[in-house]
Chain A
């Protein structure tokens, strides 16, 4: 098995209980693994949450971490995937002074070319939202940096996998036991 450090996306289906985030993040902390990003939300199944955790580790570590996560009583299933096995994106927002829109005509071009969306505009600032891969967001941030950004925030990765995860079947089987 490859001992190279790679980016893995770990997807976890869980019950929606207090403390579970702590329990899952502790598994990484204990192994001295830095979490690059962590997003949690409702999944496609009612009352089932989905964690999307991005880490840079070896595949061997990924397997072990996934097993430790699955061992947690309230974790339903966990999986790890490489970038190639997932469709993924991040989202970000920029808050920028409105004056710049008029003073720096370049900004309008940057917005047009970047495939981003203006969320709101008022006299003092405007807010821009952009979804995409990390390098696209980074590129955009660098472009705006030259003019000054009032606020910047980027979400963690969200991703869906190309293959099926069959969590619904698992839950269905429990119901019919």
Chain B
């Protein structure tokens, strides 16, 4: 590695110690402040696990039941804490099992450092036992990756990995370390990385662009903010709130932006996107200035781009230059860190209330409430709804819980109805839509924030994709609350089959096992609810429990999630039924 290409924090002691590569890996992790990591041992990473054994009082390794679980747990850890999540696996299948989690972290900008063992360097390319080209495989789904074949390269590779994972727009990195490099001794010293010459993590905020943005917002009649996860990653929640409150601009969020401003905030008008709220979707096509902050105009947010906010001037705040004009053309682009850009914007904004404009959102909320929300959260029909379960969780968490959802109908219901008082509380697989994410992610989230209530909300399909992580919950005694909303279907696919494939329910019906018995098999307290009059008591009991708790709620089998923007339709064609 060419050392002139990176900047390092000077290690003033200048002292070196002769240690092995594998000990160096652990020492590097400790130096980066890692206290917990998730992983699974195997042949090519055994020297590192041997060091983990020796350092177990300083760093806690959590044995998941599958490497995919390790990657998602590290993601959950990172998403709730803002710190870098760390996952470790052996070569070959261990490494490839991490890939789904890495791809998920890449598309959702989650800082991860993944360390994989690799066969000894003389065996590279020989089809050795458990050899796989994980650097090649992970290249398209990592922010950066590297293979290390010499112990001397380990400290710099890890220093660079942490710096890259957490700086700028965060993302996953992977370091593949051959077994001979783990065994070899060298003179160790650690210096944190502070810069990489080919990489500019945070573009400078252009003050003129901010001024231009402020001018547009100040003169707008119907300005509309859509914020995304960039606000959370940029720690700009307070700045966003101040901007919204001063300017009076109605503000909506993408799924990953949820919780940056409390859901109860009067200027928070709800969620945009395929199953977002009626008002924010419809009014996207009526606003005169659309202010996108730290969001990337995902197709699930915009619907058909040809009919998306065409009437509006678009202002796009983002840290990543590649996002500007990628999907939606920006009239004003403000590159840079959200915290800095928004605080500059705040100074330049006029005070306003936009009352009439807000009334339009309120009116459409009333329409949505009558058509959808009421029946979702306060149903009168016999079958249980997912929405009423969320309502009970809100009541008993007071909106302080972190909600970790999986992918599908229950996820949309969770994002629509969960109440959030605290930022970084909506942990879900947004971009990749990875079923199986929630159970392991909830483990990581709870371990990173032990004082917070963490509730995993999962469908019966996704639950069974990583159900083995109940073993991790049991072994590590992680007091997460697990709610499975069981409709005995892959509900979202079934909904599409109903709406767009003439009800041909191809392979979406699930014959499920006895989930309560399974949870009890892992010595996790468990209950099943099938009737409305049992629900409140069960949720209350779950939330009051000090240990892990499993609650299965058998919900109506063929309920649909609305509103809905059918795939390829315009945001203004959002359907209420």
Given contacts A22-B136, A26-B139, contact A74 B147 (CB under 8 A): no
Interfacial chain B residues near A175, Cβ < 8 Å: 197
Interfacial chain A residues near B197, Cβ < 8 Å: 76, 171, 174-175
A contacts with B, residue count (CB < 8 A): 25
Contact with A along B315-326 (1 / 0, CB 8 A): 000001110111
A98–B195 CA distance with the chains assembled, in angstroms = 58
Q: Is the CB of A71 within 8 A of B5?
A: no
Q: Is the CB of B199 within 8 A of A64?
A: no
Judged by a CB distance under 8 angstroms, whether B2 is at the interface is yes
Q: Which of B135, B136, B198 contacts A75 (CB under 8 A)?
A: B198
Q: Is the CB of A15 within 8 A of B198?
A: yes
Judged by a CB distance under 8 angstroms, whether A16 is at the interface is yes
Q: Which of B7, B146, B195, B322 contacts A70 (CB under 8 A)?
A: B322
Please provide the chain A residues from 84 to 140 with a CB less than 8 Å away from any CB of chain B in the complex: none
Q: Is the CB of B321 within 8 A of A16?
A: no
Q: Which of A63, A68, A174 contacts B195 (CB under 8 A)?
A: A174
Given contacts A73-B143, A73-B164, A73-B199, contact A177 B7 (CB under 8 A): yes
Given contacts A23-B139, A26-B139, A26-B140, contact A74 B322 (CB under 8 A): no
Other than the known A67-B322, A74-B199, what 19 A-B pairs have Cβ atoms closer than 8 Å?
Answer: A16-B2, A19-B139, A19-B145, A19-B146, A19-B147, A22-B139, A26-B139, A47-B4, A64-B322, A64-B326, A67-B324, A68-B322, A71-B321, A73-B144, A73-B164, A73-B199, A74-B198, A75-B198, A177-B7
Q: Within the complex, what minimum Cβ distance (angstroms) separates B478 from chain A? A: 34
Q: Is the CB of A70 within 8 A of B136?
A: no
Interfacial chain B residues near A26, Cβ < 8 Å: 139-140
A175–B3 CA distance with the chains assembled, in angstroms = 12
Given contacts A68-B322, A73-B164, contact A18 B198 (CB under 8 A): no
Interfacial chain B residues near A23, Cβ < 8 Å: 139-140
What are 12 A-B residue pairs whose CB atoms fall within 8 Å in the complex? A15-B198, A17-B1, A19-B135, A47-B4, A68-B322, A71-B320, A73-B143, A73-B164, A73-B199, A74-B144, A174-B195, A177-B7
A67–B4 CA distance with the chains assembled, in angstroms = 25
Q: Within the complex, what minimum Cβ distance (angstroms) separates A173 from chain B? A: 9
Judged by a CB distance under 8 angstroms, whether B196 is at the interface is yes
Interfacial chain A residues near B322, Cβ < 8 Å: 64, 67-68, 70-71
Q: Within the complex, what minimum Cβ distance (angstroms) separates B197 from chain A? A: 4
Please provide the chain B residues from 133 to 154 with a CB less than 8 Å away from any CB of chain A in the complex: 135-136, 139-140, 143-147
B contacts with A, residue count (CB < 8 A): 26
Interfacial chain B residues near A75, Cβ < 8 Å: 198
Interfacial chain B residues near A14, Cβ < 8 Å: 198
Q: Which of B143, B147, B199, B324 contacts A18 (CB under 8 A)?
A: B147
Q: Within the complex, what minimum Cβ distance (angstroms) separates A138 from chain B? A: 35
Contact with A along B1-28 (1 / 0, CB 8 A): 1101101000000000000000000000
Judged by a CB distance under 8 angstroms, whether A32 is at the interface is no
Q: Is the CB of B140 within 8 A of A15?
A: no
Please provide the chain B residues from 413 to 462 with a CB less than 8 Å away from any CB of chain A in the complex: none
Interfacial chain A residues near B143, Cβ < 8 Å: 73
Interfacial chain B residues near A177, Cβ < 8 Å: 7, 195
Contact count A vs B, C-beta below 8 Å: 58
- Interface residues, chain B, with chain A CB atoms under 8 Å away: 1-2, 4-5, 7, 135-136, 139-140, 143-147, 164, 195-199, 320-322, 324-326
Q: Is the CB of A70 within 8 A of B321?
A: yes
Q: Within the complex, what minimum Cβ distance (angstroms) separates B94 from chain A? A: 20
Judged by a CB distance under 8 angstroms, whether A166 is at the interface is no
Q: Is the CB of B325 within 8 A of A63?
A: yes
Judged by a CB distance under 8 angstroms, whether A162 is at the interface is no
Given contacts A14-B198, A75-B198, A174-B195, contact A67 B7 (CB under 8 A): no
Q: Which of A63, A67, A68, A76 contacts B198 (CB under 8 A)?
A: A76
For B164, the closest partner residue in chain A by CB is A73
Q: Is the CB of A30 within 8 A of B140?
A: yes
Interfacial chain B residues near A74, Cβ < 8 Å: 144, 196, 198-199
A171–B198 CA distance with the chains assembled, in angstroms = 8
Q: Which of B2, B7, B325 contacts A47 (CB under 8 A)?
A: B2
Contact with B along A155-176 (1 / 0, CB 8 A): 0000000000000000100110
Tell which of B139, B198, B324 has the most Cβ of chain A within 10 Å.
B198
Tell which of B135, B164, B196, B199 has the most Cβ of chain A within 10 Å.
B199
A75–B200 CA distance with the chains assembled, in angstroms = 10
* 8 nearest A-B residue pairs (beta carbon): A67-B322, A174-B197, A76-B198, A73-B144, A73-B199, A26-B140, A71-B322, A74-B198
Q: Within the complex, what minimum Cβ distance (angstroms) separates A62 from chain B? A: 12
